[in-house]
C-alpha cells in the first residue's frame, strides 16, 4: 500500500489480523486551502483526540470497541499539484475496500474519494456550497468540490451559510438540493439510496469547532449534525465517508469535537445496520 505510518493509530483501531468492518486512513493535504491553513495536521489530531474519549456510546448503549476499524495510516500526498494529487488518491483507493473512513485534509480530497465509491448520491454537510467551476484558477480547489462531485453523481448540500452568486445560481438551475443552516428542519431526505457522506467541519458553528479552514458564524450545533446524520442513515445505506477541514496540530477542542463526531457516527452506523 502507498501509505505510511502516523503519530499513533486511531483509538478504536484493530491490533490483530481480524477482518475489519471499515478501513480508516488520513489524507494530510491542504494545498488548495485559501484561508486558514493546517488541515494537513487534521488526521493525526483526530487520532490523538480519539484516545481522550470513552469508547462507550451511552445514547445507543454500544461499546464501540466491538466495531472493527483498521487504521492503514496516512496517504503519502503530493502537495502543490491538485490534479496529480487526485491521481495519487485514486491509485491508493484501488487497494482500499469499502466501506472506508477518510480523514482530511482540505475538502478537495472528497472528489476522488466519491469517484471510488460510485454512490447513488453524495451528501455534503458544509458551510459553503463549493460549487464554483474554478477558484483562483484551480478546478480542483476545495471551493469546487461539490461542483466536481456533481459531475459524477447527484450531490445534496446541508447546512450552508455562505456562497457566491454564481454558486447559488448553479444550484438552482441544476436542481441541486441545498438547505441552509436555517432550513435544516425542512430537509427532504433521500430514501433507499447508497450515500457517500462528506463532512466539512465548518458546518459546525465556530463556537463548537473554531479550528477549521473557513469558519462561518451561524452554524449547526453538534447535536444538529448528529441528528441530521441519523436521519440520513435511517433511510439509506452509507457506503463510505470523510471528515475534513480540521486545522489543528493538537488534540484541542476542535479535534476532540471531530473525534467525538466520528465516534457518534460509528455508533449510529452500526446501530442502524444491525
- Residue 200: its pLDDT value, please? 98
Q: Which residues constitute the domain of residue 218?
A: 3-273
Query: Does residue 128 contact residue 202 with C-beta atoms inside 8 Å?
Result: yes
Q: Which residues contact 120 (CB under 8 A, 6 or more apart)?
A: 153, 154, 190, 193, 194, 195
- Residue 274: its pLDDT value, please? 61
- Residue 225: its pLDDT value, please? 98
Cβ count near 260 (within 10 Å): 18
Of 167, 186, 75, give the one whose Cα is nearest residue 128. 167
pLDDT digits (tens, 9 = 90+) for 80-96: 777 777 888 888 898 88
- Residue 1: its pLDDT value, please? 54
> In the beta sheet, which residues pair with residue 11?
none
- Residue 224: its pLDDT value, please? 98
Residues of the chain with pLDDT under 70: 1-2, 5-6, 272-274
Query: Does residue 156 contact residue 203 with C-beta atoms inside 8 Å?
Result: no
Provide the CATH number for the domain around residue 99: 3.40.800.10
Give the DSSP letter of residue 19. Answer: P
Instruction: Tell me how many domains the chain contains.
Output: 1
Residue 125 cell numbers, joined: 454537510
- Residue 79: its pLDDT value, please? 76
Residues in the chain: 274
pLDDT digits (tens, 9 = 90+) for 206-230: 999 999 999 999 999 999 999 999 9
CA distances from residue 183 to 46, 79, 97, 158, 159 in whole angstroms, order as listed = 29, 37, 35, 9, 8
Against a cut of 0.85, is the pTM above it? yes
Amino acid at each position: 500500500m502507498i501509505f505510511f505510518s502516523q503519530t499513533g493509530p486511531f483509538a478504536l483501531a484493530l491490533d490483530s489480523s481480524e477482518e475489519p468492518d471499515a478501513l480508516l486512513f488520513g489524507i494530510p493535504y491542504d494545498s488548495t486551502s485559501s484561508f486558514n491553513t493546517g488541515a494537513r495536521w487534521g488526521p493525526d489530531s483526530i487520532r490523538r483526540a480519539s484516545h481522550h474519549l470513552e469508547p462507550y456510546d451511552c445514547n445507543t448503549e454500544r461499546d464501540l470497541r466491538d466495531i472493527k476499524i483498521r487504521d492503514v495510516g496516512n496517504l503519502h500526498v503530493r502537495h502543490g499539484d491538485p490534479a496529480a494529487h487526485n491521481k495519487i488518491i485514486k491509485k491508493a483507493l484501488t487497494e482500499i475496500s469499502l466501506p472506508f473512513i477518510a480523514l482530511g485534509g482540505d475538502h478537495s480530497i472528497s472528489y476522488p474519494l466519491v469517484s471510488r465509491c460510485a454512490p447513488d448520491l453524495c451528501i455534503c454537510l458544509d458551510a459553503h456550497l463549493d460549487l464554483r467551476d474554478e477558484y483562483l484558477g484551480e478546478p480542483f480547489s476545495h471551493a469546487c468540490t461539490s461542483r466536481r462531485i456533481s459531475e459524477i453523481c447527484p450531490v445534496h448540500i446541508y447546512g450552508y451559510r455562505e456562497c457566491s452568486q454564481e454558486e447559488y445560481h448553479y444550484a438552482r438551475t441544476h436542481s441541486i438540493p441545498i438547505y441552509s443552516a436555517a432550513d435544516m428542519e425542512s430537509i427532504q431526505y433521500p430514501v433507499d439510496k447508497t450515500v457517500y457522506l462528506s463532512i466539512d467541519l465548518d458546518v459546525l458553528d465556530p463556537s463548537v469547532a473554531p479550528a477549521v479552514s473557513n469558519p462561518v458564524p451561524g452554524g449547526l450545533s453538534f447535536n444538529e449534525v448528529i441528528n441530521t446524520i441519523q436521519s440520513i442513515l435511517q433511510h439509506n445505506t452509507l457506503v463510505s465517508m470523510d471528515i475534513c477541514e480540521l486545522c489543528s496540530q493538537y488534540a484541542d477542542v476542535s479535534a476532540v469535537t471531530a473525534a467525538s463526531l466520528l465516534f457518534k457516527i460509528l455508533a449510529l452506523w452500526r446501530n442502524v445496520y444491525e
